[in-house]
Structure 1
Amino acid sequence: MDAKSKPQLRVRAASKDETGKQFKGAAGKKFHPDGSGRNEVAAMVKLKRILLVEDNANDAELTMEALAEHHLANGVDLVRDGAEALDYLYRREKFAGVEEANPAVILLDLKLPKVDGLEVLRTIKADDRLKFIPVVVLTSSREERDVIESYRLGVNAYVVKPVDFSEFINAVKELGAFWAIINEPPPSAWLQRSDK
């Protein structure tokens, strides 16, 4: 596949109109589509946490670097396996003191030790307190059965990790910006009603 025909993930926090003017972003703060001004937006918007579930140290480091470029890395909690992810979400073991608010998004690898990513996803989507957390599968698996099962279980997006370093960085930055800044989660009052 040549560079022109590759599908590319494109999430923009702002865009230019036909006159080339900048749009207003989160909290009404102006910023340019090239990313300038994002520091001001991130500072004005209280970012919710991102839960990164990744056992590969290199992929975890690249993901954190990409999120840091978007000033989202200070809101990222990293866990290394599926059991640890569930402990984090249920505030068990070493996560007993973690803030009660759910993360804004979970970036979930599928090939995990202890409890695999599909089982983590199944558990999240079956629990009334967790099922509304957006889950993005960020994996190297292109296996059709993994894609189908992920969507059957209720994943919000399935992203295959690009092999190319710059494509991987861009994909993670755009995912982080969309889910942590742009996406509007359900109101907490509505979530509390759904618990009952």
Structure 2
Amino acid sequence: MDTTTAIHQRRSVKHYDPNHKMSELEIQELLELTLLSPTSFNMQNWRFVVVSDQATKEALRAASWNQAQVSEASITILLCADLNAHEDAARYWVNAPQPVQDILVPMIAPLYENNPQLQRDEAMRSVGIAAQTLMLTAKSMGYDSCPMIGFDATKVGELIKLPENHVIGLMITVGKALKDANARGGQLPYEQVVFKDQFPS
């Protein structure tokens, strides 16, 4: 499936075949392609918790206002981020030429340390980019998905044993659709959201 088709066909699906299982190879392919998503300074600050255990999915469902897709999808993925990813920055550039390492590595920690707002902003940017990559990849593999923020982040954090200094960006369900998504609710007109050079006066 080409990228344009995947973009057009990707929808937020709420009803999945609860009997369908994704293979470990499929899950690995999905995540390996997601890991090609860009991050600032190549920090790769995202962390992914892939939940396929049914009991854990049921517990996540209970912490997600009993939304059925959480337990019925083949997998439920928590897209998280390490707020301290700027530390130990050299590991992100180990394969770069030494002159590149010498320029970039010393820039990373000073930019983010002592700036919790920027750390969180960067985490959410990275998670958002990865989420779209993941959903388009899933679609290209013949799967559907649903991005979700409707859950109790504290309870979900406890269930997945979220480490200190990490945040949960969103949850994504992935599986075989039993029912198509509803018709699109309505797109804003192009001219209301796209401006040339600057916002109109």
Whose Rg is larger? Answer: 2
**TM interval, short-chain normalised:** under 0.3
Structure 2 length-normalised TM: 0.26
Q: Higher relative CO (CA 8 A, sep ≥ 6), structure 1 or 2?
A: 2
